[in-house]
Structure 1
Amino acid sequence: MIDFEKFAKYSKAGPRYTSYPTAPEFNESFTCKSYEEVLAHQDASRPLSLYFHLPFCRSACYFCGCNVVYTSKEDKKERYIDYLERELVLLSQHLDTEREVIQMHFGGGTPTFFSKEQLERILKAIKSHFKNFAKDAEISCEIDPRYLSKEQLDVLTCNGFNRISYGVQDFNDEVQKAIHRIQPYDVTQNAVKMAKSSGIKSINMDLIYGLPFQTFETFQETLRLAVSLDPSRLAVFNYAHVPWMKKSMRKIDETTLPHPSVKLAIMRYSIDYLEANGYKMIGMDHFAKPDDELFLAIEKGELHRNFQGYTTKGGADLIGIGLTSIGEGVAHYVQNFKEMDAYEAAIDAGKLPVHRGLILNEDDVLRKAVIMEMMSNFKLNIEGIEQAFGIDFFTYFADAIEALKPFEAEELVVVDKVGKKILVNPTGTLLIRNIVMPFDAYLQKIPEDKRRFSKTV
């Protein structure tokens, strides 16, 4: 049992660690030329993971932190595809597109806001450059159930898509009105039935706790309805309220947001309820059935984390394509322009639309390995880190180990100096962002009251 009031003290600003160093450290000294240099020296034996950002939505969902363009005009979507095609041509001049593709993901925005014909056009362009898809490649798409047709699903399945993720957030009417996303249960139910009848076996559903007007009782009902649809995976995210970054979030009345103690109660209940209904907790906020590859990966300690969340496809170079998309390699991050005008201008000038990025130094690469391993698998093989990086772990990370002592005292973490392991217990997993923060060298330089991140709890 958790003393929720006591654990609420851990609610503080902190990164979600989809990367390390985190995105605020990206800078504009990393240019198009920097990226070309990185691509020229990549290890050709490493496979590729492709991410395509399809940014359009019809209207704003107030909780959303994604980079979105709101429109109802078909010509804007057609124009965007024109530029995607041109970006692919430019990219193929610097990237070995014969490398094996083991993962591809369509994110947004609302990818299925594009018509059947537009999706076909995008996929034709992709496959004209990338022809070497692995037989077991994970090919996935984020989908808003309100914008989905059987014809669109047919395009996806005919092109090898084998996993889809439905945005649900919450089934409660009052919550839906407050976040400006009216999505009745039967709309989601029909979308799930459609996917299953089309042969999609891996279906994820995204829920968010911490939204306006949510209570412990209303989220219990949302969970019940979600499980009734029998998805193979569920992601239960903590709402990231960052109104200084996303103007649409300013429309949310902060007095209607649930207290951190309520959010922790919701999360604890979610874990118990989902495990009682056949799901296992995977990583920080994901749940999967025992026969799902995510669950099998964490059992082997082989789960990985990137900008798309948790994945079994580690060891790949992530190539981001489209507006605001992010790419990642062993020692770099790169992000395209966020503004459409700048994105188009770069491509018009015959340049990859790189806005900013980062070359990682040796310390960054080391800390990235530590943080991502703990975020993914809730444990750390210290001996493996020492061997890989040629360090004495407890000397190098003396400050971080000292900062973990309160978590040890609360029996959330075990730091085993003899067995050279760090183990996070099941309750500690709820606070994994807090637990890895001491290893973040950049965060330690920022006073706590100046940290501009969402709350960890």
Structure 2
Amino acid sequence: MARGSFSAAPAHNAMNTTDTDTLFRPDLLAKYNANGPRYTSYPTALQFRDDFDLADYTRAAADPRAARTDLSLYFHIPFCDTVCFYCGCNKVVTKNRAHARPYLDRLKGEIALQAALFDTTRVVSQLHWGGGTPTFLSHDEIGELMAATREHFRLAPDSYGEYSIEVDPREASPETIAHLRALGFNRLSLGVQDFDPRVQQAINRIQPLEMTRSVMRAARAHGFHSIGVDLIYGLPHQTVESFSRTLDTMLALAPDRLSVFGYAHMPRLFKMQRQMDPATLPSPEVRLAILRRVIERLTDAGYVYIGMDHFALPTDELARAQAQRTLHRNFQGYSTRAECDLIGFGASSIGKVGDVYAQNEKDLPAWSDAIDAGRLAITRGVRLTHDDRLRRDVITQLMCNLELRFDEFDATYGIAFTEVFAPELARLQSFADDGLVSIGARRLGVLAAGRMLVRNIAMVFDRYLGQQTLERFSRTL
């Protein structure tokens, strides 16, 4: 099917005027606009323990039952040439490219340490490089790291594996894109945020349209399977009209996926955000009006509203996975590989192996010291309880498939879902009254108007929220 000639999204994914009118009723916005997790994991990272027992991780890695599942690899490349004022990622801002060499050498050491724990005949069907800016590395360094990965792990063929990399168009030429494809990457994620020059100046990210267009053209020319783009609403100087122009420009470029995140202004946690004048941020009313325009504009253009802040063409693997009920979430967001064990490499990266979450040292010197000493840099984590596993499954099904089929949980966990979760179902009645969910005898479904509030719906099943401050999380709207 030719790009741009795709058919409309399936009816159950469509948003109509009635849905958006319901979603943006002032009383409902006031009721549901709260802080909450994004549920890239359950329990969330706030439940990770500093006294985590590393033996739990090594036992999970060696469990012979895990051999039936594929592996997913995540590499965190923390370096950035310049700082974007909105960014809350773990990063090292430097123009000295020589800083990448010792980090790369240590990553290769960490690959060997992790590979020694796993049955490396297991297929790697997913790989992702994030940051920071992975393309901060030179072409030779990128090739060196991929070669080291292939030396220790068995990557699936291009036709099956999903191998993605976050690309800053300011750091990537068409030659870079060709090099990445030749090394095996087949999916790109591009940071754009906004095309408006005034907004770009305020966030310290000057990125002319032609830079983005050039990268996307190169990616298509070299046969990348999917191109995703990140936009952010709620940034300085944004208006409904200005962001509409950004949307129109982006739709002309026709990415396969769009992530449109709400900016989380947390200057107490992220000092660089203090460089932006808070008086220039759009008001809550304008921010919500921008979000409404995003949902209406993208769904009218034929994109499937996956949920929360993600959209995809019906032909994209993300939309197909949701339609087939195989969509998943991991620490990079929505994923098409549901049952993979995830191994994290690099400072601050998080892995999930069996029922164990494990996070590396966030501090670059501390991570470096551990690898230099010949040991894993894992410093925090948690082993899931039976209740954690059950609730993780519930929350994952809600976030990804937008429904709960009670009989599936009854069969898998040996429970009577409606009895175990009677208090939660009672709390969700107000969501049903507001037209956000439907609750039947054997099924709970998230209605079209509830997709943006799926975090709020999932929070009902989170038993930890009463034990922690919600201020550590971003707003749900």
Name the TM tier (shorter chain).
Answer: over 0.9
For the residues of structure 2 that align with 1:242 and 1:331, how far apart are their CA atoms? 31
Q: Please, what is the CA RMSD of the aligned residues?
A: 1.6
Shift in CA distance, 301/443, structure 1 to aligned 2, threshold 3 Å:
same
* Contact 2:341/2:352 (8 A) holds in 1: yes
Distance in 1, Cα, partners of 2:168 & 2:427: 41
Q: Work out whether residues 169 and 190 of structure 2, in 8 Å CA contact, stay in contact via their aligned partners in 1.
A: yes
Q: Does 1:435 align with 2:460?
A: no
Out of 31, 39, 45, the position equivalent to 2:61 is: 39
What CA distance in whole angstroms lies between the structure 2 residues aligned with 1:288 and 1:330? 29
Q: How does 1:217-296 map to 2 (within 5 A)?
A: 217-296=241-320
In 1, the alpha carbon distance for the partners of 2:29 and 2:86 equals 22
> Do the aligned residues in 1 keep the contact of 2:178 with 2:219 (CA within 8 Å)?
no
Residue 150 in structure 1 maps to residue 174 in structure 2: yes
> How far does the alpha carbon of each residue in 1:290-346 deviate from its partner, in whole angstroms, 9 at most, with x for none?
211211121222211111111221111011111111111331111111111110111
Q: Which of these residues, 106, 112, 123, is aligned with residue 129 of structure 2?
A: 106
Tell me the SS of whatever aligns to 1:96. coil
* Cα displacement (A) at 1:31: 4.1
Partner of 2:435: 411
Gaps of 5+ in 1: none
Identity among equivalent positions (%) equals 44
Q: Which residue of 2 aligns with 1:64?
A: 87
Partner SS state of residue 460, structure 2? helix
Q: Which residue of 2 aligns with 1:341?
A: 365
Task: Describe the SS at the equivalent of 1:427.
Answer: helix
The CA distance in 2 between the partners of 1:38 and 1:301, in whole Å, is: 26
- Greater shift, 186-195 or 236-245, is seen at 236-245
Q: Is the 8 A contact 2:90 2:348 kept in 1?
A: yes
Pick aligned residue for 1:5 from 26, 35, 42: 26
299-308 or 425-434: which moved more? 299-308
Deviation for aligned residue 1:404? 1.3
Instruction: Find out whether 1:20 has 2:42 as its counterpart.
Output: yes
Distance of 1:211 and 1:301 partners within structure 2: 34
- Bigger mean CA offset, 335-344 vs 126-135: 126-135
Alpha-carbon offset, residue 62 of structure 1: 1.4
Amino acid of the structure 2 residue aligned with 1:439: F
Distance apart, 1:132 and its partner CA: 4.0
Structure 1 letter corresponding to 2:454: I
Could you say which residue in structure 2 is the equivalent of 1:48? 71
Report whether the alignment pairs 1:299 with 2:323: yes
CA change 1:337–1:98 in 2 (3 A) is: same
Q: Which amino acid aligns with 2:29?
A: A
Contact map agreement 1:4 1:265 (CA 8 A) in 2: no
Given that residues 31 and 354 in structure 1 are in contact (C-alpha distance below 8 angstroms), is that contact kept between their aligned partners in structure 2? no
Secondary structure of 1:174's aligned partner? helix
Deviations 1:384-439, CA, capped at 9 Å, x for gaps:
112211122222222222221221111111111x2x11111111111111111110
Q: What corresponds to 1:376 in structure 2?
A: 400
Letter in 1 for 2:61: L
> 2:101 aligned to 72, 78, 82, which one?
78
Residue 152 of structure 1 and its aligned partner are, at CA, apart by 2.1
Q: Distance in 2 between matches of 1:445 and 1:106?
A: 33
Moved more, 175-184 or 82-91: 175-184
Q: Deviations over 1:274-294 (max 9, x none)?
A: 122221111322211121121
Deviation string 1:244-296 (CA, Å, 9 cap, x unpaired) is 32221232333332233333332222222112222111132221112112111
Determine whether 1:361 maps to 2:358.
no
- Normalising to structure 2: TM-score of the pair? 0.91
Q: Provide the rounded CA distance (Å) in 2 between the counterparts of 1:253 and 1:22.
A: 31
2:349 to 315, 325, 343: 325
Match of 2:476 in 1: 456
Please name the residue that 2:446 is paired with: 424
Q: Which amino acid aligns with 1:67?
A: N
1:6 and 1:179 mapped to 2: Cα distance? 32
Moved more, 360-369 or 174-183: 174-183
Distance in 1 between the 2:357 and 2:267 partners?
A: 25
Work out which of the residue numbers 117, 140, 143 in structure 2 matches 1:94.
117
Within 1, Cα distance between the matches of 2:28 and 2:285? 7
CA contact (8 A) 1:55 1:109 kept: yes
After TM superposition, the structure 1 stretch with the greater mean CA deviation from structure 2, 286-295 or 391-400, is 391-400
- Deviations 1:23-71, CA, capped at 9 Å, x for gaps: 1111122244332222122511211011111110012111112111111
Give the partner amino acid of 1:35: Y
Name stretches of at least 5 consecutive residues in structure 2 with no aligned partner.
1-20
SS in 2 for 1:146: helix
CA distance in 1, matches of 2:170, 2:429: 47
TM-score scaled to structure 1, two decimals?
A: 0.95
Residue 160, structure 1, aligned to residue 184, structure 2 = yes
**Over residues 131-162 of structure 1, what are the superposed CA-to-partner deviations in whole Å (9 max), with x where a residue is unaligned?**
34244100111001000023322221112211
Counterpart secondary structure, 1:439: coil
- The number of residues matched between the two structures is 453
Secondary structure of the 2:43 match is coil
Q: Which secondary structure does the structure 2 equivalent of 1:243 belong to?
A: coil
| Distance in structure 1 (CA, Å) of the matches to 2:315 and 2:464 | 38
Give the conservation status (yes or no) of the 8 Å contact 2:326–2:337: no
What is the SS of the residue equivalent to 1:98? coil
Change (3 A) 1:376 1:261: farther
Residue 83 of structure 2 aligns to a residue whose secondary structure is coil
